[in-house]
């Protein structure tokens, strides 16, 4: 069945350093969504990517969808303490969405 | 204010008892979902509904039941058949199936 793998599981960075999380699917995706969940909170939608090779930016966040539509990445430039949380990708294939297990980002002051 | 509301935030039950978690949305969304979140496991889909009076099993439906009698409401019952019910349960809705999802605050269920 369809699987979505996300790496790394945990990431500790110094404030100001960059951060990247990667998402890989076993099957071709029709789209991919990214969510952020703050500690103790609920997931909040960040963005959806649909097109092959698509790149979208939101301030310090850059999202990419691979050419084969089987992988995606989220890159944060110059992390801040407000970036703390778990970042999930969610890939849509066939008629279901599968969430990755998430990458928990911890910022060291 | 439009949104999706789950209640209660914390719930304690004795083993062997059924318990129903509430989820209400006033976003006029057609699709609603229930996810279970365990540490290190991400979000796993329990049930989803694309339209009133219709719902489908997700990846971990065993031991759970749902109903969708009204567009606004999608309650989840955790039955005594669910072997490991202690978890964080998240309800979500979207305009149409599998589009951008809006999540509720979650219900943390502890079964003792």
Q: Please tell me which of the candidates B41, B100, B104 has its beta carbon nearest to residue A33.
A: B100
Residues in A closer than 8 angstroms to B50, CB to CB, are none
Give the separation between CA A33 and CA A6, rounded to whole angstroms.
Answer: 13
Looking at residue B76, its pLDDT comes to 98
Burial of A92 (0-12, 13-18, 19+ CB in 10 A): buried
Give the separation between CA B40 and CA B54, rounded to whole angstroms.
Answer: 31
Reduce the DSSP state of residue B17 to 3 states and report it: coil
Assign B39 a pLDDT band (cuts: 50, 70, 90). Answer: confident
CB contact under 8 A, A99 and B97: no
Q: Which residues of A sit within 8 Å Cβ distance of B?
A: 6, 9, 33, 35, 41-45, 48, 88, 90, 92, 95-97, 99-102
Q: How far is A96 from chain B (nearest CA, A)?
A: 7
B79 CB contacts (<8 Å, ≥6 apart)?
A: B18, B63, B64, B65
pLDDT in tens, B67-84: 999 999 999 999 998 999
Assign B30 a pLDDT band (cuts: 50, 70, 90). Answer: very high
């Amino acid at each position: 069945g369809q699987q979505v793998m996300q790496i790394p599981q945990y990431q500790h960075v110094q404030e100001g350093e960059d951060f990247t999380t990667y998402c890989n699917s076993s099957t071709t995706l029709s789209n991919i969504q990214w969510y952020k969940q703050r500690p103790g909170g609920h997931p909040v939608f960040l963005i959806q990517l649909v097109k092959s090779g698509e790149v979208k930016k939101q301030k310090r966040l850059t999202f990419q969808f691979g050419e084969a539509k089987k992988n995606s990445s989220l890159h944060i430039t110059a992390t801040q303490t407000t970036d703390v949380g778990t970042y999930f990708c969610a890939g849509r294939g066939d008629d279901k969405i599968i969430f990755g297990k998430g990458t928990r980002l911890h910022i060291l002051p | 204010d439009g949104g999706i509301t789950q209640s209660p935030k914390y719930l304690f039950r004795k083993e062997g008892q059924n318990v129903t978690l509430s989820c209400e949305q006033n976003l006029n969304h057609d699709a609603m979902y229930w996810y279970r979140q365990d540490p290190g496991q991400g979000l796993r889909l329990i049930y989803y509904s694309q339209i009133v009076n219709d719902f489908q099993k997700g990846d971990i439906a065993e031991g759970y039941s749902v109903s969708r009698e009204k567009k606004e409401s999608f309650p989840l019952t955790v039955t005594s058949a669910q072997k490991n019910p202690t978890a964080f349960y998240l309800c979500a809705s979207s305009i149409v199936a599998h589009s951008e999802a809006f999540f509720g605050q979650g219900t943390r269920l502890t079964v003792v």
